[in-house]
């Protein structure tokens, strides 16, 4: 009896549940399908990263004794879809059973759920145990609660994993050391350059393929320096723990022009695709703390991002169900401005963030949340359009992690299921956290008029527009109090300034994001 084991592009882990307990006649199936590369027009670097990592992983499995059937994108007969390729492989190998790990998103899981009917094989779907909190455990945690507060979930996860715990208590006697983090970096700080990896022959072949088939997609393909093997990803992890982690927390929210990465980990593309596991990453940080190599604020801050935020976000995605993305709590309908694709805008903070993501397929958390997401929410971009943008541009973007972060945290489109208030901010916040404003054509200190930073009037306009919905939010009353104190005349001037700016916005050529077959 031949068992087919399809391994998806974000399942590149030797310890994957479907690869344990090897059946006698097992064939691993890996496929590069055009449907997945084009259902949104992913950044070229992201496609290259995944195809190259898949090809390297297939070779590693072969070296470990597996029979691997690998279908390349341009191979004759490739149907271009997961289901089409699984059906072809079942026929090719006479397989009677399929064993697969559950998909990371609803869309792909629906395909897997159709494989038994499409192929006639018996399909076994195994839970993805690379996550530290199962869907069942998350549902149990969420079940009885009125509010799904991340900090509560995180403390539960600390207890459950035993990370940074001593005799049932958090080490350092505090759960959260954020108060020690988020300093303003001194001028001229010497930031570590993250490791990059020279493309080998396999990666070069993939770069040619992506350059040919996905030329119309967003982003620069080269220079390409991502890790594409587990060994390289482990090198990136070692480097982060030794060099950047000790200062990770201190400047976590800072934005410095010309410094894309600061002390961030740059590990999300590797964890999300499976080259690294969440557990080994947090164990490495905890071990460095235990050795006295990193301070507690850094180790705790980093571990919270992984066992707290990352697991919580994934829990919400599956707990909220496939319809989560359909809500639009703030009734936002505006088209995404074209400059999210081109970077062609006088708003320097946006232009710089877009330029960076075009080159690197990366922005750090505060750029994503407080510049790009904040602006989209303030101007009222339709959630589906901004969500598609996030899914396209980042090398680490998969719907399970992109959607709750964008729909919930950044756009408040879920009405507060995930965040207790909208992450809205004016120019003063961006000025405090970045060095953009001093070089911008707008003046961050001005509130109204053509030279004023647009974030300022837009922020008040946003609060005024959504007053009925948000005014009773206990975390916003101070803001509404400030709005009232402005008085009728300044309120009118502020809203007129916001309206003039909104009228001047260009809208996006939507074909940038929606594949037109190019
Ligand atoms: C609007 C918005 C969209 C986002 N979209 C994505 C996405 O598509 N994919 C993605 O992996 N992350 C996303 N994030 C979370 C976060 O911005 C990235 O994980 C982080 O910037 C990745 O870079 P890093 O590895 O240098 O992370 P660091 O800042 O060094 O953090 C360490 C690790 O913590 C994890 N992490 C931290 N915050 C989150 C979070 N909110 N959700 C999930 N994991 C987290 C990541 O695995 C990350 O590698 C998004 C955040 C926002 C606000
Ligand atoms: S002044 Fe306003 S638009 Fe310009 S960089 Fe600062 S926050 Fe952005």
Does the pLDDT value for residue 483 go beyond 90?
yes
With cut-offs at 50, 70 and 90, classify the pLDDT of residue 144: confident
Rounded Cα distance, 37 and 74, in Å: 13
Helix (H/G/I), strand (E/B), else coil: 234: helix
Rounded Cα distance, 257 and 363, in Å: 12
Compute the half-sphere exposure of residue 165: CA atoms within 13 Å on the CB side of its CA.
14
Rounded Cα distance, 1 and 92, in Å: 13
Does the pLDDT value for residue 509 go beyond 60?
no
Mean pLDDT, the chain, rounded, equals: 95
Output DSSP code: residue 452.
B
* Least confident segment among 107-116, 180-189, 392-401, 479-488: 180-189
pLDDT tens by residue, 291-308: 999 999 999 999 999 999
Distance (Å) from CA 449 to ligand 2 centroid: 14
Residue 35 — φ and ψ, nearest 5°? -55, -40
Report whether residue 306 contacts ligand 1, using a CB cutoff of 6 Å: yes
Looking at all shown ligands, the one closest to residue 425's CA atom is 2
Distance (Å) from CA 15 to ligand 1 centroid: 23
Distance (Å) from CA 358 to ligand 2 centroid: 20
pLDDT tens by residue, 272-297: 999 999 999 999 999 999 999 999 99
Does the pLDDT value for residue 331 go beyond 90?
yes
pLDDT for the residue 512 = 52
Report whether residue 310 contacts ligand 1, using a CB cutoff of 6 Å: yes
Hunting for tokens 């996550």 — which residue is that?
A: 131
**Count of CB atoms within 10 A of residue 116's CB?**
14
- Nearest alpha carbon, ligand 2 atom 3: 347
Looking at all shown ligands, the one closest to residue 356's CA atom is 1
Share of the chain above pLDDT 70, in %: 98
| Residue to mutate (ligand 2; options 345, 431, 458; most atoms within 8 A of CB) | 431
pLDDT for the residue 364 = 96
Burial class (CB in 10 A: 0-12, 13-18, 19+), 261: middle
pLDDT for the residue 516 = 38
State which H helix or E strand residue 71 sits in.
Answer: strand 67-71
pLDDT tens by residue, 419-471: 889 999 999 999 999 999 999 999 999 999 999 999 999 999 999 999 999 99
**Residue range 337-363: average pLDDT?**
97
Residue 256 — φ and ψ, nearest 5°? -125, 125
Residue 67 — φ and ψ, nearest 5°? -90, 125
With cut-offs at 50, 70 and 90, classify the pLDDT of residue 184: confident
Distance (Å) from CA 139 to ligand 2 centroid: 41
Q: Which runs of consecutive H residues, i.e. helices, occur in 381-448?
A: 383-393, 399-403, 427-433
**Residue range 208-232: average pLDDT?**
98
Rounded Cα distance, 88 and 75, in Å: 13
Kindly list the distances between the CA atom of residue 18 and the CA atoms of 13, 91, 129, 348, 466, in Å, as whole numbers in the listed order: 10, 20, 10, 47, 48
Q: Which two tokens stand for residue 10?
A: 């974000």
| Residue to mutate (ligand 1; options 401, 403, 408, 414; most atoms within 8 A of CB) | 401
End-to-end CA, the chain: 42
Rounded Cα distance, 156 and 153, in Å: 5
| Residue to mutate (ligand 2; options 427, 429, 443, 450; most atoms within 8 A of CB) | 427
Hunting for tokens 């009222």 — which residue is that?
A: 380
Looking at all shown ligands, the one closest to residue 373's CA atom is 1
pLDDT for the residue 222 = 98
Question: Do the beta carbons of residue 36 and residue 83 sit within 8 Å?
Answer: no
Does the pLDDT value for residue 518 go beyond 60?
no
Distance (Å) from CA 254 to ligand 1 centroid: 15
Pocket of ligand 2 (CB under 6 A): 347-349, 427, 430-431, 436-437, 440, 442, 444, 453-455
Question: Do the beta carbons of residue 340 and residue 406 sit within 8 Å?
Answer: no
Looking at all shown ligands, the one closest to residue 349's CA atom is 2
Looking at all shown ligands, the one closest to residue 446's CA atom is 2
Q: Which atom of ligand 2 is nearest to the CA of 427?
A: 7
Hunting for tokens 């990059």 — which residue is that?
A: 196
pLDDT for the residue 300 = 96
pLDDT for the residue 6 = 98
Does the pLDDT value for residue 385 go beyond 80?
yes
Distance (Å) from CA 365 to ligand 1 centroid: 6
pLDDT for the residue 149 = 94
With cut-offs at 50, 70 and 90, classify the pLDDT of residue 251: confident
pLDDT tens by residue, 227-239: 999 999 999 999 9
Q: Which atom of ligand 1 is nearest to the CA of 240?
A: 30
pLDDT for the residue 192 = 85
- Nearest alpha carbon, ligand 2 atom 2: 453
Using H for helix, E for strand and C for coil, what is the string for 161-223? HCCCEECCEEHHHCCCCHHHCCCCCCCCCCCCCCCCCCCCHHHHHHHHHHHHHCCCCCCCCCC
Compute the half-sphere exposure of residue 484: CA atoms within 13 Å on the CB side of its CA.
8
| Residue to mutate (ligand 2; options 257, 345, 347, 438; most atoms within 8 A of CB) | 347
**Residue range 47-60: average pLDDT?**
98
- Nearest alpha carbon, ligand 1 atom 41: 309
pLDDT for the residue 510 = 53
Report whether residue 309 contacts ligand 1, using a CB cutoff of 6 Å: yes
Does the pLDDT value for residue 515 go beyond 70?
no
Looking at all shown ligands, the one closest to residue 350's CA atom is 2
Using H for helix, E for strand and C for coil, what is the string for 307-351? HHHHHHHHHHHHHHCCCHHHCCCCCCCECCCCHHHHCCCCCHHHH
């Amino acid at each position: 009896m031949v068992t087919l084991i399809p391994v998806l592009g974000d399942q590149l882990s030797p310890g994957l549940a479907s690869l344990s307990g090897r059946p006698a006649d097992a064939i691993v199936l890996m496929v590069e399908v055009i449907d997945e590369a084009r259902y949104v027009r992913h950044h070229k670097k992201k496609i290259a990263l995944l195809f190259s990592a898949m090809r390297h992983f297939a070779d590693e499995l072969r070296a470990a004794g597996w029979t691997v059937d690998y279908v390349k994108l341009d191979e004759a007969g490739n149907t271009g879809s997961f289901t089409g390729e699984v059906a072809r492989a079942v026929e090719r190998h006479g397989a009677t059973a399929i064993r697969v790990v559950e998909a990371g998103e609803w869309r792909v899981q629906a395909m897997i759920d159709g494989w038994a009917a499409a192929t006639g094989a018996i399909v076994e779907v195994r839970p993805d145990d690379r996550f530290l909190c199962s869907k069942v455990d998350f549902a149990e945690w969420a079940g009885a609660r009125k509010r799904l507060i991340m900090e509560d979930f995180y403390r539960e996860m600390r207890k459950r994993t035993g990370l940074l715990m001593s005799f049932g208590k958090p080490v350092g006697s505090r759960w959260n050391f954020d108060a020690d983090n988020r300093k303003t970096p001194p001028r001229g700080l010497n930031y570590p350059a993250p490791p990059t990896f020279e493309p080998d022959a396999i990666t070069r072949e993939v770069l040619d393929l992506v350059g040919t088939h996905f030329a119309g997609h967003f982003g620069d393909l080269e220079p390409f320096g991502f890790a594409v093997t587990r060994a390289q990803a482990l090198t990136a992890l070692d480097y982060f723990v030794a060099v950047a982690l000790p200062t990770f927390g201190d400047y976590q929210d800072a934005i410095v022009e010309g410094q894309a990465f600061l002390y961030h980990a740059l590990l999300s593309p590797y964890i999300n695709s499976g080259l690294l596991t969440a557990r080994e990453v947090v164990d490495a940080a905890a071990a460095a703390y235990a050795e006295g190599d990193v301070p507690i604020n850094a180790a705790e801050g980093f571990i919270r991002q992984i066992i707290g935020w990352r697991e919580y976000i994934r829990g919400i995605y599956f707990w909220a169900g496939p319809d989560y993305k359909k809500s639009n709590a703030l009734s936002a309908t505006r088209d995404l401005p074209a400059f999210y694709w081109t970077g062609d805008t006088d708003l320097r903070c946006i232009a710089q963030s877009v330029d960076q993501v075009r080159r690197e397929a990366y922005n750090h958390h505060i750029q994503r949340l407080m510049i790009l997401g904040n602006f989209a929410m303030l101007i009222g971009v339709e959630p589906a359009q901004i969500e598609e943008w996030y899914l396209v541009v980042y090398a680490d973007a998969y719907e399970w992690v992109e959607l709750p972060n964008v729909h919930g945290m950044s756009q408040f489109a879920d009405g507060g299921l995930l965040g207790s208030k909208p992450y809205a901010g004016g120019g003063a916040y961006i000025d405090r956290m970045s060095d953009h404003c001093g070089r911008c054509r707008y003046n961050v200190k001005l509130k109204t008029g053509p030279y004023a930073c647009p974030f300022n009037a837009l922020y008040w306009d946003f609060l005024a527009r959504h007053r009925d919905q948000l005014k009773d939010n206990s975390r916003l009353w101070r803001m509404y109090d400030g709005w009232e104190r402005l008085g009728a005349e300044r309120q009118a001037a502020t809203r007129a300034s916001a309206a003039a700016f909104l009228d001047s916005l260009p809208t996006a050529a939507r074909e940038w994001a929606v594949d037109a077959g190019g």
